[in-house]
């Protein structure tokens, strides 16, 4: 695995590297979600330096960008599916000039012009993936096939959950037979009660590098993003990725340009650079997530293209559910129960 861009490239964050200088692009992204080689090659080709700052949840990203002040003047961000819709509706995004984007025509028709952003006026797909079950087969006896298995008493104190409110509640809702996008207060309450039963088994929450609790021996089973499972398996071959019977959580991460971006021209350049088939293929091979770039898929190494963890089959995606925008009223209900869940109330 090539060296990845990590948090803390510049301890001062945006300070001292103003994007008023046209040779700087401030990129706000998830940890370990862009190969350093891509950033280096972009700089070599354009002369534009990239300042890479990270977040570990959509909620953290949203809270920062909503400030609309100098401390949050990022040129590009990478929100997940439903947050694109939320930020677009709240006028937090700058329209994307498609005439300046090269390679848009290579994107999978199934992943563009979605309800979250009709005609992709504000977002360009970057990567898509799934959240499923990680199992350390060296330490876990018997099969794990469903989200419901996480409640098995044999896993007490050995379960890992992502630090993501919507994802965790998605699991609780699916176990109960509900949609992971439920807006029904009663169903959300039931999911909270079900998840509260799981909490004695939960060792940790991690959305910074979800593979690490498994690699470090903290957890034996739990949630993980598929790309993290790919990277984790390189170090620990016993780490397996399971598509749960109740259905996988599916998501799409997209480039957006925040409304107060200082260098939108560089943002457009970077998006076009990433959409080059060679670059999109490099990213997918490096960090294990699926590219929406169809031209890039033809360039993938066979071992990557045929890896069900990165590129699920139709059978794997049976009962899969993409996260949707559920509105602020429902989000507030989730947030209240999330706080109660994590505080043990």
Which parts are annotated binding residues?
Answer: 32, 82, 164-167, 323
Query: What distances in angstroms separate CA 277 from CA 102, 240, 273, 296, 321, one per listed residue?
Result: 11, 29, 9, 4, 27
Any bridge partners for residue 205, and if so which?
Answer: 161
| Residues 288-303 as b or e (16 or more Cβ within 10 Å = b) | bbbbbbebbbebbeee
Which parts are annotated binding residues for spermidine?
Answer: 32, 82, 164-167, 323
The torsion angle over the Cα atoms of residues 265, 266, 272 and 278, rounded to 10 degrees, is 170
Q: What is the DSSP letter of 60?
A: H
Query: What distances in angstroms separate CA 165 from CA 83, 107, 320, one per listed residue?
Result: 13, 29, 18
What counts of helices (H) and strands (E) characterise the chain? 12, 12
């Amino acid at each position: 695995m090539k060296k990845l861009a990590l948090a803390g490239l510049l301890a001062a964050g945006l300070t001292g590297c103003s994007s008023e200088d046209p040779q700087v692009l401030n990129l706000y992204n998830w940890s370990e979600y862009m190969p350093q080689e891509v950033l280096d090659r972009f700089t070599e080709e354009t002369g534009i330096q990239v300042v890479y700052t990270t977040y570990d949840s959509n909620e953290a990203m949203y809270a920062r960008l909503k400030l609309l002040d100098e401390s949050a003047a990022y040129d590009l961000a990478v929100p997940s599916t439903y947050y694109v819709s939320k930020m677009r509706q709240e006028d937090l995004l700058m329209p994307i000039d498609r005439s300046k984007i090269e390679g848009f025509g290579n994107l999978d028709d199934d992943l563009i012009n979605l309800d979250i952003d009709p005609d992709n006026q504000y977002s360009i797909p970057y990567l898509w993936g799934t959240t499923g079950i990680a199992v350390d087969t060296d330490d876990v006896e018997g099969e794990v096939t469903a989200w419901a298995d996480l409640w098995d008493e044999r896993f007490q104190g050995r379960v890992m959950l992502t630090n993501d409110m919507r994802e965790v509640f998605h699991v609780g809702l699916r176990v109960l037979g509900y949609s992971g996008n439920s807006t029904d207060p009663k169903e959300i309450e039931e999911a909270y009660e079900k998840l509260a039963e799981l909490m004695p088994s939960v060792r940790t929450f991690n959305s910074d590098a979800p593979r690490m609790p498994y690699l470090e021996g903290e957890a034996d089973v739990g949630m993980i993003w598929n790309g993290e499972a790919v990277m984790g398996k390189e170090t620990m071959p016993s780490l397996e990725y399971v598509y749960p019977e109740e259905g996988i959580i599916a998501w799409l991460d997209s480039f957006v340009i925040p409304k107060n971006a200082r260098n939108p021209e560089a943002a457009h350049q970077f998006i076009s650079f990433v959409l080059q088939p060679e670059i999109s293929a490099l990213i997918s091979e490096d960090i294990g997530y699926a590219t929406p770039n169809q031209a890039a898929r033809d360039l993938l190494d066979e071992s990557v293209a045929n890896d069900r963890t990165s590129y699920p089959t139709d059978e794997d995606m049976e009962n899969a559910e993409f996260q949707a925008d559920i509105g602020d009223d429902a989000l507030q209900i989730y947030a209240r129960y999330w706080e109660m869940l994590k505080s043990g109330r």
